[in-house]
Structure 1
Amino acid sequence: MRTHPLAADVVIALALTTVALLLGTESAAQGWPALDPLGWTLVALVNLPLALRTKAPVAVCLFCFAASTWYTTAGYWPVVSSLGPMLALYTVASLRPLRVALACAALLAANWIYAGLITDGSNMASVVAQAAGFPLVLCRFGWSARRTAELNRQLRAEQAERARREVADERVRIARELHDVVAHHMAVINVQAGLARFVFDTDAGTAREALGTIAATSGEALAELRRMLGLLRADDTPADSAAPAPGLGQLADMVARVRSGGLAVTLTVTGEPRPLPPGVQLCAYRVVQEALTNVIKHAPGARAAVELTYRPGTLTVSVVDDGPGVTLPRDTEGRGLRLTGKGVDPARIRPQGGHGLIGMRERAKLYGGTIVVGPRREGGFGVLLTLPTSSQAARRGDADRQ
């Protein structure tokens, strides 16, 4: 259980007062006048205000110094009144700037030298050495405590900011995955539901086929949602409870599903297929998925072509269609914007909203690739993704995803 700082200071002040009072009972044995009511009162005035030392450190320090000087001037044993001012000086050094602590240290040194001057038989060399050494040591320890507290506060602030950024990044990743999963499958389901409703009374076979596509698409959407929720599971959940992420091996099935939804789309693979890191495969899969979803939503009736090209060290993914396209904003020289892994404001890509193109850019950036999105000269719209397939780039992207 955490103790309140004020309560701790009260306990410390009472303990220090008790020690000083017990030490005061030895005054007569040390050859000094025994404490009378005035002496006991001054001892209390020197030590009890330390209960407020963290609330008003400088004021408490000055009050303790003044009470200690009064106690010494009254002729009592100076050692009894030395503990409270020393703790007060340490508190000032730990909570206030160094120049303030040094000023208070000078006052404490003057108090000790004054006590030595008015005491018969004092060894002034020893008194001066103590007056110079003890306050400086107290200032040094107090300054170290203040510096440590400042570093701890700074560390906590940096940790809180880092946690906030990590939460924001995780929200972006979750939103991107949700968009990729939901938008594509719902677009296919929407097209098939419209087709089934249109031919329900006239072509039962086509309607039945459309309903089958809806069932298969919704089942795949649920499987991907389970996979994504599995990634958000508690740490003690078995790792194999989540379905594997989709990759290039499922690309043909996805194209076939889109084709059954009414979009004329072809898939071509150029080069020698080879195993690729899971993150690279997921990136390519999601970009194709988003590009075909955009064709379904923005260019109904268009034809699309998907081409995968395996080259040494790179994988190129191209998705083009012959629809009317989407007009992208122009740059200052009248050219279409290029959406790459860096240097482009994603908010300018699609003024009418949506997160698909933003997600494409983020995925390309994550794996060190580039992506070009825009209308084609020969008509229609195109997406061209180039990904490095080196193990180093793949490891970097997978590490960022985790």
Structure 2
Amino acid sequence: MRTVVYHVRMPATEALRPRPAHVALAVGFAVAGCLAGAFYDPAPWRPFDLWAHLLTLLIALSLALRETRPLGVLVITAAGFAGYLLLGYQPSLNFWVPAVAFVSVAAREGRGRIVCGSALLAAVIALSGMCGRLPWPVVAVQALIVPAAACTVGLTQRRLAARNAELRRLTALLDQQQRQEARRAVLDERFRIARELHDTISQHMTIVTLQTGLAEYVFCTDPPAARKALGTAAAAGRESLEELRRLLVVLRTYDLGGASGPENPADPLPDELLAGVDRIPALAERLEAAGLRVEVRFSGARRPLHPGIELCAYRVVQEALTNVVKHSGSATAEVAVRYLDDALRVTVLDRGGPLSATSTGGSGHGLIGMRERAKIWHGSLTAGTRPGGGFQVRLSLPLDRTATAADP
């Protein structure tokens, strides 16, 4: 994998501006070097005069630029210290300045420059030992140890800087992912609310529309039938308002996807808030007012299921039957609910004309919503025309993975 590194070009004045910490270190070395040379003047070294002060200031103050120009600072400090020694001044604290400069070279430069800088530092350290008339073994060891120690410190700084840069990159990536997850959660919540509103309102509004149309048609010719149709429409409207109230309570309090529940997780969801499989017969009775006769059959060992599974099955049956009323033209429909050991299977079929969520007058949202509900609970949904006529919707929900809902 290729790694592309982008270099940001800064203005020259900003690039040369030293950091306060580096300035403080440079000033500290300059003051300490001048004080040490002024108060410690052993024989046979040359007295610490004005030139010694100027060279000390040059060597030390150049450390302020060691971050932006590390190799150049090393060359200046090494050359200044060599000249300082050749003029006969005692090493003082200037001995450590080239080593500090080489730390920045090892931390920021490439391998070739590190090797050159190491050789330069070893040479000036050896010169310091020879000018101090130290034994040659001490000179050799000193010329090896000081560059090695400075290089180790510099490489450690390089690794820490690389890790910090990677940490900043990962932090930025994590922040971006969190923002994306937040936006995705908002979209998922919108889809969930849209599904609930569609499934809750569609059936009742279908009944209201059909019954008010019937009442208008027979208003003058059959007043009792008109009054009955208006009563049915009013009842459907009141039930629609009640469903909306329940839905708002659920959306404000509970997570229908199963990720969270009441304030006390041990408390079950109240039965009056979520529709379940047991309410399918009542749903069929309500649809008789719209002229649809629904036969509901249960098979298998009936048992309580996860509230989300119950709601998914109920909403799919509700939407499928509503589509029969709106688009099929069939007078009868069948609902079969089978409790298996590892799955719940629901089949809704009619024997009338073809039913399609994308037929004239349909938006397709109903079929999309049914498939989304099935997917949330790791299930599958198929819908299509039957070979002998009519339309069939099949829902299968596994019961061994109901502890958590799938990612919508």
The bucket for the TM-score relative to the shorter chain is: 0.7 to 0.9
The one of 395, 402, 406 equivalent to 1:394 is 402
What corresponds to 2:215 in structure 1?
Answer: 199
**TM-score, reference length from structure 1:** 0.75
Give the letter for the 1:230 counterpart: T
Shift of 1:164: 1.8
1-structure distance, mates of 2:367, 2:285: 23
Shift of 1:150: 1.2
Q: 1:214-240: per-residue Cα shift (whole Å, max 9, x none)?
A: 11122212311331232379x9x9568
Shift of 1:251: 2.7
Instruction: Indicate yes or no: 2:289 matched with 1:260.
Output: yes
Shift of 1:61: 1.2
Report percent identity of matched pairs.
22
Give the letter for the 2:54 counterpart: P
* TM alignment of 1:194-343, pairs within 5 A: 194-196=210-212, 198-199=214-215, 201=219, 202=223, 203-231=226-254, 238=263, 244-326=273-355
Does the aligned pair in 1 maintain the 2:357–2:367 contact within 8 Å?
A: no
Q: 1:16-37: per-residue Cα shift (whole Å, max 9, x none)?
A: 1232123212134275746423
Give the letter for the 1:63 counterpart: G
Instruction: Indicate yes or no: 2:150 matched with 1:134.
Output: yes
1-structure distance, mates of 2:102, 2:245: 70
Mark the CA change 1:251 to 1:181 in structure 2 (over 3 Å): closer, same or farther.
Answer: farther
Bigger-Rg structure (1/2): 2
Q: Where do 5+ consecutive residues of structure 1 fail to align?
A: 93-99, 330-348
Q: Where do 5+ consecutive residues of structure 2 fail to align?
A: 1-13, 86-90
Q: What is the SS of the residue equivalent to 1:72?
A: helix
Shift of 1:381: 1.0
Shift of 1:376: 0.7
What corresponds to 2:378 in structure 1?
Answer: 368
Instruction: Indicate yes or no: 2:177 matched with 1:161.
Output: yes
Shift of 1:289: 2.4
Q: 1:163-186: per-residue Cα shift (whole Å, max 9, x none)?
A: 524642562354044223334413
Mark the CA change 1:116 to 1:84 in structure 2 (over 3 Å): closer, same or farther.
Answer: closer
2-structure distance, mates of 1:49, 1:258: 84
Q: 1:338-371: per-residue Cα shift (whole Å, max 9, x none)?
A: xxxxxxxxxxx99x86343333334333333332
What corresponds to 1:188 in structure 2?
Answer: 204
Mark the CA change 1:228 to 1:9 in structure 2 (over 3 Å): closer, same or farther.
Answer: farther
The one of 354, 376, 381 equivalent to 2:391 is 381
2-structure distance, mates of 1:91, 1:18: 22
Q: What is the SS of the residue equivalent to 2:19?
A: helix
